[in-house]
Structure 1
């Protein structure tokens, strides 16, 4: 995120000669907000961005970046165990220096924060470090000053962890996904509530660091929005690592005490189970933040779930002309993912600059869970495809990663699954296994460009790699099976 010279758009340039006005006013400096600001500034627009906390938002400071830094450390710990158990390398983990680990994590976050701050300054974005609220369809109040937007206002105030009634996080015994990484020390046991991507990642992290982990999900499977085969293989992989996975299970009660938390859950079979753990981590989803935004002052409201829904999804524009929304304030089909927010920011900035950009194709946005094993997918699940196209108009092919040499080297299982329309384009790709987060980009292009299996089968995948399994699946679907039985 080093600052660089951005191309200007001379037809749109307007000097910031009025400090009380800007072409574009962005409320919120997270991924959606700052990407909007950067792109709008690159197009020659005068941009003012209001952020009451730290530039970069939840993703940079409490979510994506620090959690992935910690998960990388967890991979290193797991690698030492694999070296000892599979490869005869006589190595052990004596201990984890928590202070050193968190210092490395915090240094990565700090460098990214400095990069975002410098990039915005270099682009000429005026940053107001204050809470902001709407005062009308073109007016924003920030830090006690009123500002007028010549072209439009962008709402990008993000989200916060959703809580369960009766649970009060204290940052030590009961924590949310926002503060779990910053709770003191490594707990010996953790109950993770929520089997979505965040909950699965935190369960995986704590298990790698040696904790006893119980993962509880109210739905009948982990990652309930993903393909069922992905959910099944993920659960199997987590259980193999010693994580207790309880699906179809609900929390009934939880009480803190001197050394931890005693929780009562009801399982899918109706059994009531008491769990004593050192820490309870609540990861049951996130909710949009609109506190203090005063939507009504601009003639806006929220939907029943608290989202600010656009009237025009192509432009991400609300029912009030000139007010746009990006990021976690958007309801589905927006995905609440940082990379989706980047794409939304580009669309809104280019719309405000009069460029008429292509809308975000949410079906082609990759979804990744950075646990061990990892999952990565794009497009429709098999169930969705059969419901949308007809049960007989869908073809599916799967292949285990251990069917290729590099998968045997890793020895961690996993698979590739491709869903396609019969005689037509690829509708979805679903991966489980090591490093699949780095493999999904190819499939994003395949789905986004509506390629057919034969289109992909023409291209050669390198040997030996895990990506060979992707190539083999497409070869078979195209009627050119090589190592896989067609």
Structure 2
């Protein structure tokens, strides 16, 4: 249904990514009328150019490594190469299927989807210009407005995107495997693409300005990932900054602040994501921005009229599932419910590299800052003692951080498929569980999930297998 100039809705949502469509779906479920404004496709970055297509590439990479390593398991398999057209077809098929399902869901809830660029022209009014700009802009009045416009790949001053210099969005559309890649940024996006390209056969060199890969994670996980990457032949330079890049027919040539130079076919810029808040009328309506991010209270309200914000535009973890949870919470508050504020420390984090990194809660460093060195206890349980991990041939560990004589504050894991274990870890941290509470639970055998149980047994003072 196309809106008319006089259309008024209970909720107008600006942006149809994870946070926006979650807010729209929950609001409609609660009986509110909803307009969902989106310039691109419903699903946003995560579905179309982020989480989903990236993880599809990572699964293809896992299969490539499996083909190489078949003999290790008694399977006669060989790796013959990567057909990027076929990989792209598989990736695009996954995205298309999820997109079709999401569009159907949005339609079935009676949500009005308005295509075009939305801009606040009043605290309760959104003007939407169609992409081609031929028609007069539609004006939507919302008793509440939810800003959920997401984020974009950042670059650095003097570093222009184009040609052999790409962001993650262009990297997802490559039709060949580069022979060599420099990845600028050793955070989640950088190490995931580094992992994919190495599995596809490329030479990879990661440059990270901080002292560790995945620097937001516990130091023990960062060091373990660095060891694993060295073993895989992924090179990296830490504690050094990008200075300039030159491009010619032979490739890209990157100079670092230390004076070191690196050469490759391609440069991936993965230095983080910025909030997509420019040009949508926020400051004109009195909404406070900080470095482009929307400043909100613990309820995600902007302090202006009935304007709310969720997802990547709000300072904090830029994760799809965080935005999704925030979207639901805001819809419930608009409907008169009182959901508890989201505790960011309980939001799980997963890096889908090989090996995977998964965590929730405080790192050891953060726990010590809060409770002092004498007030924190840690334990690492090596996956070498876990039967399922042994079968999979993976290495890694589960690290627990607890307040001394108190609850578990953080769970940090590295190894194949540990992202699938973070659900229980989230419950442990969210519910302030003591090691003894988790140790009493029965974990199925043989599963990697047992490693969580064994780690808590050990931290509770009754280790049954060796741990480091």
TM-score tier after normalising by the smaller chain length: over 0.9
Shift of 1:18: 9.2
Q: 1:156 — aligned with what?
A: 148
**Which aligned pairs between 1:116-135 and structure 2 lie closer than 5 A?**
116-135=102-121
For the residue of structure 1 that corresponds to 2:252, the secondary structure is strand
Q: Does 1:293 align with 2:280?
A: yes
Name the SS of the counterpart of 2:254 in structure 1. strand
Q: Is the 8 A contact 1:36 1:346 kept in 2?
A: yes
Task: Determine whether 1:53 maps to 2:28.
Answer: no
* Paired position in structure 2 for 1:10: none
Shift of 1:19: 5.3
**Unaligned stretches of 5+ in structure 1?**
1-15
Provide the TM-score with structure 2 as the length reference.
Answer: 0.95
Q: Secondary structure at the match of 1:179?
A: helix
Counterpart CA distance in 1 for 2:355 and 2:27 is 39
Q: Does 1:420 align with 2:402?
A: yes
Superposed CA offset, 1:226-256 (max 9, x none): 1000000011111110000111121222111
- Of 103, 109, 126, the residue aligned with 2:95 is 109
Query: 1:136 Cα shift?
Result: 1.2
For structure 2, the residue ranges without an aligned partner over 5 or more in a row are 130-136
Residues 174 and 280 of structure 1 are in contact (CA less than 8 Å); yes or no, is this contact kept in structure 2? yes
Q: Deviations over 1:78-109 (max 9, x none)?
A: 1112213x234332111211111101110111
SS in 2 for 1:464: coil
Counterpart for residue 134 of structure 2 = none
User: Which range moves more in the overlay, 272-281 or 337-346?
Assistant: 272-281
Deviation, 1:321, is: 3.1
Match of 2:253 among 235, 253, 262: 262
Query: Which secondary structure state, in structure 2, belongs to the residue aligned with residue 463 of structure 1?
Result: coil
In 2, Cα distance between the equivalents of 1:410 and 1:52?
Answer: 44
Task: Return closer, same or farther for 1:265/1:118 CA change in 2, 3 Å cut-off.
Answer: same
Does the C-alpha gap of structure 1 residues 147 and 478 become closer, same or farther in structure 2, counting only changes over 3 Å?
Answer: same
Q: Say whether the 8 Å CA contact 1:50–1:130 is kept in structure 2.
A: yes
RMSD between superposed Cα atoms in Å: 1.5
Pick aligned residue for 1:431 from 400, 413, 420: 413
1:234-383 matches, within 5 Å, as 234-266=225-257, 270=258, 272-303=259-290, 305-310=291-296, 312-313=297-298, 315-332=299-316, 335-383=317-365
Quick check: 1:134–1:293 contact (8 Å CA) kept in 2?
yes
Q: Hey, which bits of structure 1, 4+ residues long, moved more than 4 A?
A: 16-19
- Are 1:167 and 2:151 counterparts? no
In structure 2, distance between residues paired with 1:19 and 1:284: 43
**SS of structure 2 residue aligned to 1:290:** coil
CA drift at 1:58: 0.6
Q: Equivalents in 1 of 2:229, 2:201: separation in Å? A: 14
Matched pairs, number: 459
1:185 equivalenced with 2:176 (yes/no): yes
Matched, 1:137 2:104: no
| Worse-superposed segment, 75-84 or 88-97 | 88-97
3-state SS, counterpart of residue 178 of structure 1 = helix
User: Contact between 1:472 and 1:484, CA under 8 Å: does it hold in 2?
Assistant: no
How far 1:388 moved relative to its partner?
0.4
Matches within 5 A, 1:7-22: 20-22=7-9
* Corresponding position of 1:43: 30
Aligned partner of residue 353 in structure 2, secondary structure:
coil
The answer to whether the Cα contact below 8 Å between 2:38 and 2:116 also exists between their aligned partners in 1 is: yes
Cα separation, 1, equivalents of 2:106 and 2:390 = 46
Q: Evaluate the alpha carbon distance shift between residue 147 and residue 92 of structure 1 in structure 2; reply closer, same or farther with a 3 A threshold.
A: same
